[in-house]
Amino acid sequence: MLALVLPLLVAAAPTVQPAPVQVPSPPAVASTPAPPSPLPTAAATTVPNPAVDARAREWFHRLQDGRIDFSQLDDQAKQALNSDVILMTQTQWSLLGWPVSFDEVRQEPPSIATPEWMYLYRMVFSDDSVLDFFFGIDAQGLISGMRLAPEQ
């Protein structure tokens, strides 16, 4: 996954079938940064990881608000998130509102092509629009990339 936050509608993502997960109310964002989430084992790719799921929801909200905690990002993600990208993302993503559902669809363990864990979430909004949110975590537990794409 590229360590880049892209505009609202970007290139198509692979086709996936949703696996609904019960989602609690949006988490309150703490004033202190959350420690990196523990990484799941390769055998746990079909079991949701509540810590990563909560972190992905938190970061979607952070991007909507433009509140970026660079200490939670890997070096490539830090470089990609310049002030122009943050402002553009905040402007576009804040218009969506909070998703009424935020379901983990898939986890992909690290591979030669993608050296981090990649999580795919399907989000449904109050206007019935559906978008996919990709969230990458590297081996050190840092966020390696995030992007939003039309549902596939």
Report the alpha-carbon distance of residue 82 to residue 80 in Å, rounded: 6
pLDDT value at 61 more than 60: yes
Mean pLDDT on 94-123:
91
Beta strand pairing call for 143-150 and 130-137: antiparallel
pLDDT at 30: 45
* Predicted confidence (pLDDT) per residue in 33-48, tens digit: 444 544 444 443 557 8
| Highest-pLDDT range among 11-15, 26-30, 100-104, 112-116 | 100-104
**Other CB atoms within 10 A of residue 38 CB:** 11
Q: List the single range of 62-66, 103-107, 113-117, 146-150 with lowest mean pLDDT.
A: 113-117
pLDDT at 133: 97
Q: What is the dihedral of CA 31, 52, 12, 82, to 10 degrees?
A: 30
Tokens for 52, please give them. Answer: 């990563």
Mean pLDDT on 93-114:
91
DSSP state at residue 46: T
Q: Nearest-CA neighbor of 106 among 46, 57, 148? A: 46
Q: At what angle do helices 83-94 and 50-65 cross, to 10 degrees?
A: 100
Partners of 120 in the β-ladder: 106, 134
pTM as predicted: 0.70
What is the SS3 assignment for 53?
A: helix
CATH architecture group of domain 46-150? Roll (3.10)
